[in-house]
């Protein structure tokens, strides 16, 4: 029995050690193959809000985005995972706060806000690149709100009413404590 264990240990050391200490052609250490075993893969989720009408208002040193008629948030993953979910606004806010250092509370997400603004006698398309924080949802009025920051200091955000607004958030995690890979 002791010899069998020694042989298994030797086989394990011979097969795992080269993978663990693999060196890429650039001469840098490659990721350990054991990391994939001990750290489950978590898909990167992207989130989409669609609203028939949204307002972007300047309030002091920040902006507020209010999206009306929000009843769900669409979520999908990048390849290779290719998953999709429909979340309630309350679920989205729960995920916003979950995940510790990976949460949107700690690292606010980037987002693209698109829509159409009526300007005098014409409608113009607009898109704004922003950073979001402090989400709130009013179930009674179905208004989802965010505090908005400009991506760059010199950027000027187009404030006003947006028709057919969509908000696309960069990746985050849907944290499920019973299945860390979800």
Reported confidence tier of residue 119, pLDDT bands at 50, 70, 90: confident
pLDDT at 72 over 50: yes
| 120 and 136 co-located in one domain | yes
| Best mean pLDDT range from 12-26, 65-79, 97-111 | 65-79
Structure tokens at 140: 């009674």
Structure tokens at 135: 């989400």
Give the range among 3-7, 58-62, 64-68 with minimum mean pLDDT. 3-7
The residues, any chain, with a CB within 8 Å of residue 130's CB and separated by 6 or more, are 63, 65, 110, 111, 112, 113, 148, 149, 150, 151, 157
Reported confidence tier of residue 156, pLDDT bands at 50, 70, 90: confident
| 128 and 64 co-located in one domain | yes
Residue range(s) defining the domain that contains residue 26: 2-38
Identify the CATH number of the domain in which residue 159 sits.
2.40.30
Whether the ω angle into residue 106 lies within 30 degrees of 0, i.e. cis, is no
pLDDT at 39 over 70: no
177, part of any domain = no
pLDDT attached to residue 104: 93
182, part of any domain = no
126, part of any domain = yes
Structural domain total, the chain: 2
| 18 and 78 co-located in one domain | no
Query: 45: which strand partners?
Result: 77, 172
17, part of any domain = yes
Query: 172: which strand partners?
Result: 45
């Amino acid at each position: 029995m002791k010899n069998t264990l020694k042989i298994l240990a030797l086989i394990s050391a011979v097969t795992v050690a080269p993978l663990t200490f693999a060196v890429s052609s650039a001469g840098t250490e490659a990721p350990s193959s054991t990391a994939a075993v001990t750290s489950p893969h978590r898909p990167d989720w992207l989130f989409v809000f669609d609203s028939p009408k949204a307002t972007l208002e300047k309030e002091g040193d920040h902006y507020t985005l209010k999206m009306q008629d929000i009843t769900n948030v669409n979520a999908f993953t990048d390849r290779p995972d290719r998953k999709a979910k429909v979340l309630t606004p309350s679920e989205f806010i729960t995920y916003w706060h979950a995940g510790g250092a990976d949460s949107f509370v700690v690292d606010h997400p980037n987002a693209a806000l698109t829509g159409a603004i009526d300007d005098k006698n014409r409608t113009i398309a607009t898109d704004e690149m922003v950073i979001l924080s402090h989400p709130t949802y009013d179930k009674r009025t179905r208004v989802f709100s965010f505090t908005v920051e400009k991506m760059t200091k010199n950027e000027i955000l187009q404030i006003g009413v947006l028709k057919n607004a969509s908000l696309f958030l960069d990746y985050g995690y849907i944290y499920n404590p019973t299945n860390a890979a979800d």
